[in-house]
Amino acid sequence: MDYIIENCRVLTPEGNVKPAALTVAKGHIAGLDADGRADAVRVNGAGTLLLPGIVDIHGDAFERQLMPRPGVKFPLDVALLDTDLQMIANGITTGFHGVTHSWEPGLRGGPMASQVIRTIRAMRPRFGCDVRVHLRFETYAIDGVADVIDMIEAGLVDAVAFNDHVPHFQERRDQPAKIQPAAARAGLSVPEFVALLDRVRQRADAVPGAVRRLAECANAQGVPLLSHDDETPAMRRMFHDMGCRIGEFPVDAATAETARDLGDEVVLGAPNILRGASHCGRLTAAEAIADGLCTILASDYYYPSLLQAAFRIAASGALPFGDAWNLVSATPARALALRDRGEIAPGRRADLILVDDSDPELPRVAATVVAGRPVFLDGSRLGAWAEEQEPARA
């Protein structure tokens, strides 16, 4: 169905907000005016702000739907459908689920990762959001390299990130209370988890080769690479040299500066903006943005944070609104080689959100459109969507 969204304010690729009547035809943006389409349905935007849909480069809050309490599991299809509703209600039109393939058993183990990834692929036609897979490979999970390569080559993986949480666990090895959550997630007792950690640490010599194999495979398949929690400038340069051009959550400013100087993207968490600080004592996202050390925001563990964070950044004066919105739309789309979305321009995919910003401190999504298809509507804010209305006047 072709339609025209009237009575709205549109964010242009130049970063300006202007009144417009946006025409959608065959799932794409046809123009920023009525375009003389007498056959198109008219939709009243009710004065909302029309924005490019959010591209979430890394979100793992879906794990809470799979296992809301330690050891309490729900069916994958139910959990993923519920997650989809959360995402589209918060303006996420393209979402990369951060699926962890770890040496840990349980929720983040290799078998579970494979099951989640294959279920996502099978269910994609049922999702409102364009759901994709960001595979978070724990570098000590060397037994899973062959399986991950198979999934990459089968086209089941849309991005690969290198994670290493062994040092994190090692620091807490003798603190049972801090090990307990991970042990429970893995379905192990604390002593069992510690014993597993000790065995895994013996694989250190094999880790660099495993990382190189996966990087070579991903590069050959054109799959974007990310590194997670880069600890030093040298680590960022190492991953950059492997073709990994996105650094997630660098631990300090010097490492983020190295990424910037290399021309790489730097991802920080949008929850960090809402909370005013990192939950684990690392870079403060607002300060990093002000210093030019953050180019992309991710939902990380909280889907509503992306919409809210962009508005807060603009309200703070750290960036103009258009630049703040690029952090959650145009830049992640470009970094992930999704060149058909991220901006409102003729020819782009019609991934759009209409936002009620009457209270700029608490914006709300009124409607979400994915590839031209309305997938979410808050009727209290927008009224009926694309009912049988008069055709647009020529």
pLDDT digits (tens, 9 = 90+) for 273-319: 999 877 666 789 999 999 999 999 999 999 999 999 999 999 999 99
Other beta carbons within 10 angstroms of residue 118's beta carbon come to 15
Whether 3-52+343-382 shares its CATH topology with 54-335 is answered: no
337-389: pLDDT as tens digits: 999 999 999 999 999 999 999 998 999 999 999 999 999 999 766 655 544 44
Return the domain boundaries, the chain.
3-52+343-382, 54-335
Token pair of 153 as six digits: 């080559």
What pLDDT does residue 104 have? 96
What pLDDT does residue 381 have? 66
- Assign domain 3-52+343-382 to its CATH superfamily: Urease, subunit C, domain 1 (2.30.40.10)
Full 3-state SS string of the chain: CCEEEEEEEEECCCCCEEEEEEEEECCEEEECCCCCCCCCEEEECCCCEEEECEEEEEECCCHHHHCCECCECCCHHHHHHHHHHHHHHCCEEEEEEEEEEECCCHHHEHHHHHHHHHHHHHHHHHCCCEEEEEEEEECCCHHHHHHHHHHHHCCCCCEEEEECCHHHHHHCCCCHHHHHHHHHHHCCCHHHHHHHHHHHHCCHHHHHHHHHHHHHHHHHHCCCEEEECCCCHHHHHHHHHCCCCEEECCCCHHHHHHHHHHCCEEEEEHHHHHHCCCCCCCCCHHHHHHCCCCCEEECECCCCHHHHHHHHHHHHCCCCHHHHHHCCCHHHHHHCCCCCCCCCCCCCECCEEEEECCCCCCCEEEEEEECCEEEEECHHHHCCCCCCCCECCC
**pLDDT of residue 392 exceeding 50:** no
168-223: pLDDT as tens digits: 999 999 999 999 999 999 999 999 999 999 999 999 999 999 999 999 999 999 99
Overall fold of domain 54-335: TIM Barrel (3.20.20)
Q: What is the mean pLDDT of the chain?
A: 93
104-131: pLDDT as tens digits: 999 999 999 999 999 999 999 999 999 9
Burial grade of 122 (CB within 10 A; 0-12, 13-18, 19 or more): exposed
What pLDDT does residue 384 have? 52
